[in-house]
Amino acid sequence: MRRTARRLGGGVVAAAVLSLVAACGGGHVAEPPASLGAPVDFAIPDSIANLPLIKSDGSTTTLAAYRGKTVMIADYLTLCTDICPMISANVTAVGRALEHNGLGGDVALLEITVDPQRDTPARMRAYQKLFPDAPANWTLLTATPANVAAVWKYFGVDYFKEKEAGSKRPALDWLTHKPVAYDVGHADDLIFLDAAGHERFVINGEPNVGNAPIPVALAKTLTKQGQRNLTHPNPVTTWTVSQGLAVFSWLLDKKLSAAS
């Protein structure tokens, strides 16, 4: 499948946001430069857009159901102890800023699991409750393992099951407080769709949450690498809330301000 051209190989992420925000001063918002991510234009085929996805309330939806909205998609798992808590923190912060700009109903922020065997609707509901100020346009999704694999294969996001890193203190599940049996390694991608359902922009990089806190229950489970990701993010290869908003600014052709 086509993916080689749009996958990013650790490209520079941070430098472009200032020029992009400067372009938001009026009129048409310039296309984000490649140093922030990769602008693309792929119509998602119906075979992917119509795959059933399951929300945290147990109801079924599809990517096609979000046509008419500008969409950001991130991969995650609720048992991640390295980076996913920061992904969700940034995604929800982007959502709050979009609501602040009166655009909450025009966008959708989707996190699709890479761990469908464990990420049940009940577990996703518990995870959502850890973010008490989460925006209404933030949706966690799971699916059958086959459908999850098909979605992520199409978008070029790699993931794989792996043993928990050996240590004297195995990672504990924040929900059950039992040792975690395995981890899921995965790429860290943000995928943006326009209102027509076309894939339009991709950021490949870990999140930089800045000073924003993550839920205490998740912070307690972070590995040493997770703590480094939280407190010392790479300023060149990570994406910030402002940069996520910059892509929405371009796609919506609107000047956006940060949430107060």
- Each residue of 136-181: pLDDT tens digit? 999 999 999 999 999 999 999 999 998 876 555 678 899 999 999 9
Question: What confidence score (pLDDT) does residue 168 get?
Answer: 57
Check whether 53 has a pLDDT greater than 50: yes
Between these two residues, 21 and 52, which has the higher pLDDT value?
52
Q: How confident is the model at residue 249 (pLDDT cuts 50, 70, 90)?
A: very high
pLDDT (average), residues 126-139: 95
Question: What confidence score (pLDDT) does residue 230 get?
Answer: 92
Question: What confidence score (pLDDT) does residue 211 get?
Answer: 72
Mind listing the domains of the chain with CATH numbers? 17-22+38-252 (3.40.30.10)
The secondary structure of residue 164, as a DSSP letter, is: P
pTM: 0.88
Q: For residue 233, is it left (φ>0), alpha (ψ between -120 and 50) or beta?
A: beta
Check whether 1 has a pLDDT greater than 50: no
The CA angle 127-87-163, to the nearest 5 degrees, is 75
Burial 156-179 (b: 16+ CB within 10 A, else e): bbebeeeeeeeeeeebebbeeeee
Distance from the first to the final alpha carbon of the chain: 43
CA distance 238 to 77: 19
Question: What confidence score (pLDDT) does residue 19 get?
Answer: 36
CA distance 88 to 77: 10
Q: What is the DSSP string of 96-165?
A: HHHHHTT-GGGEEEEEEES-TTT--HHHHHHHHHT-TT--TTEEEEE--HHHHHHHHHHHT--EEEEEPP
Strands (E), the chain: 38-43, 53-55, 60-61, 70-76, 107-113, 138-142, 159-163, 182-186, 189-193, 198-204, 206-207, 238-239
Question: What confidence score (pLDDT) does residue 14 get?
Answer: 33
Check whether 16 has a pLDDT greater than 50: no
What is the DSSP pairing of strand 70-76 with strand 107-113? parallel
Q: At residue 4, what are phi and psi to the nearest 5 degrees?
A: -55, -45
CA distance 258 to 235: 20
In this predicted model, what pLDDT tens digit does every residue of 58-81 receive, in sequence order?
999 999 999 999 999 999 999 999
Burial of 180 (C-beta count, 10 Å sphere; 0-12/13-18/19+): middle
Check whether 199 has a pLDDT greater than 60: yes
* β-strand partners of 53: 61
Check whether 84 has a pLDDT greater than 60: yes
Q: How confident is the model at residue 3 (pLDDT cuts 50, 70, 90)?
A: very low
